[in-house]
Amino acid sequence: MLEGKFEEASLLKKIVEAMKDCVSSCNFNCTENGISVQAVDNSRVLLISLLIEKDTFEEYRCDRNITLGIGLGSFSKIIGNGANSDYLTIQAEDDADTLGIIFEDKVKDKISEYNLKLLDIDADLLEVDAMETDATITLPSADFAKICKDMKTLSESLQITVTKDSAKFQSAGEIGSGSVVIKPKTDIDHPEESITISLDKPIDLSFGSKYLSDIIKATSLSQKVTIKLTEDSPGVFEYKLPSGYLRFYLAPKFDE
């Protein structure tokens, strides 16, 4: 049996909101250590890797490994019925064909219960764990979201170049071109505003703006985003959870 209680429904709401426009359904793999998901979008360009560690939960138990096939649109509708501050418990028997979702209002004496029908999802897992990294950039997630939105107005591609002491984001299209350069900065009073860049090899990569638009839907999950880049390889965009992460692997664009 699986039972996981979130201190606040808002966390699961944000996670599902960040995923549902990229993949319509996916398997939630539940073990005694927590819940993980790997899912690829229809075009096979963007991969989502989610880990919600056991410590994220107020209470967690999973006696036997369970795979829950979940339609994210339906899941999102049901979780949307709870208030952000409610306790949210997900519950499934070992051979369940539904997932129980329970909201508890912390002030009123009110409990709401829903059942979501589970799906049979046949999906291949990809071996993404052994990736090398040539450059790592950490910056405020809101800044990254703004850069992606601003550059998308110019072009369907965003070029990222990284050198020893700066990262440059640039786009060029029919109406013109633009660029944003960021440099490392340590802000002791506001550590969430700090920017770090570490580099083994210079980077010049281009990514599809529409996929970046999907990625930045995770912005509310974390004040920071870490971008790991390797020449001629997918980029990794990581939003840390209180205990775990939501990562996106995005295949690059190439010169034809």
- Evaluate whether 192 touches 223 at the Cβ level (below 8 Å): yes
Name the DSSP letter for residue 51. Answer: E
In the region spanning residues 75 to 104, those forming contacts with another protein, defined by CB under 8 A, are none
128 sits near another protein (criterion: CB under 8 A): yes
Q: Is 176 left (phi over 0), alpha (psi -120 to 50) or beta?
A: left
Q: Considering the complex, what minimum distance in angstroms separates the CB of residue 250 from another protein?
A: 8
Give the HSE-up count for residue 126: Cα atoms under 13 Å, Cβ half-sphere: 15
Among 125, 153, 176, 187, binds another protein (CB under 8 A): 125
179 sits near another protein (criterion: CB under 8 A): no
122 sits near another protein (criterion: CB under 8 A): no
Q: Considering the complex, what minimum distance in angstroms separates the CB of residue 70 from another protein?
A: 20
Q: Considering the complex, what minimum distance in angstroms separates the CB of residue 79 from another protein?
A: 28
The DSSP-derived string for 2-15 is EEEEES-HHHHHHH
Q: Considering the complex, what minimum distance in angstroms separates the CB of residue 156 from another protein?
A: 9
In the region spanning residues 200 to 219, those forming contacts with another protein, defined by CB under 8 A, are 206, 208
Burial 10-40 (b: 16+ CB within 10 A, else e): bbbbbbbbbbbebbebbbbbbeeebbbbbbb
225 sits near another protein (criterion: CB under 8 A): no
135 sits near another protein (criterion: CB under 8 A): no
Name the DSSP letter for residue 195. Answer: B
Which stretch, 43-51, 75-83, 113-121, 169-177, contacts another protein (CB under 8 A)? Answer: 43-51
Question: Scanning the structure block, which residue is given the tokens 């020449």?
Answer: 231
127 sits near another protein (criterion: CB under 8 A): yes
22 closest CA partner among 248, 252, 234, 253? 248
256 sits near another protein (criterion: CB under 8 A): yes
- Evaluate whether 161 touches 173 at the Cβ level (below 8 Å): no
171 sits near another protein (criterion: CB under 8 A): no
Given the complex with another protein, which of 109 and 127 has the nearer CB atom?
127
Q: What residues make contact with another protein under the rule CB under 8 A?
A: 40, 43-47, 124-128, 157, 206, 208, 233-234, 249, 251-256
